[in-house]
Structure 1
Amino acid sequence: MTNVYRALGDSTRRHILRMLKQGSKTQKEIVEAFDISQPAIKKHLNILLEERIISENLNGKYRIYSINHNTLQTAYHEMLQFIGELLDDQLVSLKNYVEKGEFRDEEN
């Protein structure tokens, strides 16, 4: 499973993804959008690549980056399922609590 939290946990990486949402970009275009060094941007790109959130293609001497929509869609569905399971567990706990009537004892 992709570690979306790692990939999206940094504001620079989120900004890169917002840029790529507009369409594919070269590494140079991405670097020029920030006030940090090219090696620092490359580290952020590598994390996004490692988590398969983006893909990289070579076009001559240029590296072109794009969003990997399939990975994001899968991660989105996995996150929804995880959150749904957490909420289901909480609802079961609440149901059990109410059925036992324990809240009435606290009122007295």
Structure 2
Amino acid sequence: MVNLYKLLADPTRKKILSLTAKREYTQKELVSSFDMSQPGIKKHIDMLIDEKLLLIRREGKYNYYRLNQSLFEKEAIQAKKEINHILKSKLDCLNDFLEEE
């Protein structure tokens, strides 16, 4: 999976995930929520689908998008573990430095 941080670094993708966490949206509804062209929004939607963060449901001629809540929660837990590991490592280094003083 592409780094979750890179996906969330983009404000458009972050807003798409935020919107679709609340309810399903059609592509047209998502496009109307942004000051961006339909192809521009579709590019972001496709990235999120490729990384399985967005689920798609087809009904007739419409596609409905929603956040893949379970995968997003797993990724958030993993990100928290990574951040905690980094912080612990930095605090251990700081502690070692202070003990040398």
2:26 is equivalent to residue 11 of structure 1 = no
User: After the TM superposition, which residues 44-59 of structure 1 pair with which residues of structure 2 at under 5 Å, given as runs?
Assistant: 44-59=44-59
TM-score, with structure 2 as normaliser:
0.89
2:89 is equivalent to residue 89 of structure 1 = yes
Give, in angstroms, the shift of residue 2 of structure 1.
4.8
What is the alpha-carbon distance in structure 2 between the residues aligned to residue 80 and residue 14 of structure 1?
18
* Residue 99 of structure 1: aligned partner: 99
Contact 1:31/1:38 (8 A) holds in 2:
yes
Contact 1:54/1:67 (8 A) holds in 2:
yes
Unpaired runs of at least 5, structure 2: none
What is the alpha-carbon distance in structure 2 between the residues aligned to residue 15 and residue 26 of structure 1?
15
Contact 1:7/1:53 (8 A) holds in 2:
no
Unpaired runs of at least 5, structure 1: 102-108
What is the alpha-carbon distance in structure 2 between the residues aligned to residue 51 and residue 59 of structure 1?
22
* Residue 30 of structure 2: aligned partner: 30
* Residue 20 of structure 1: aligned partner: 20
TM-score, with structure 1 as normaliser:
0.84
Higher Cα Rg, which structure: 1
Contact 1:2/1:52 (8 A) holds in 2:
no
Contact 1:3/1:51 (8 A) holds in 2:
no
Give, in angstroms, the shift of residue 64 of structure 1.
0.6
Give the AA of the match of 2:39: P
* Identity rate, percent: 35
Paired residues, what number? Answer: 101
1:4-35 Cα deviation digits (max 9, x unpaired)? 12221211112212221220111111112222
What is the alpha-carbon distance in structure 1 between the residues aligned to residue 24 and residue 53 of structure 2?
13
Give, in angstroms, the shift of residue 78 of structure 1.
0.9
What is the alpha-carbon distance in structure 2 between the residues aligned to residue 93 and residue 39 of structure 1?
48
Classify the secondary structure of the residue corresponding to 2:65: strand
**Divergent runs of 4+, >6 A:** none
Give the AA of the match of 1:19: L
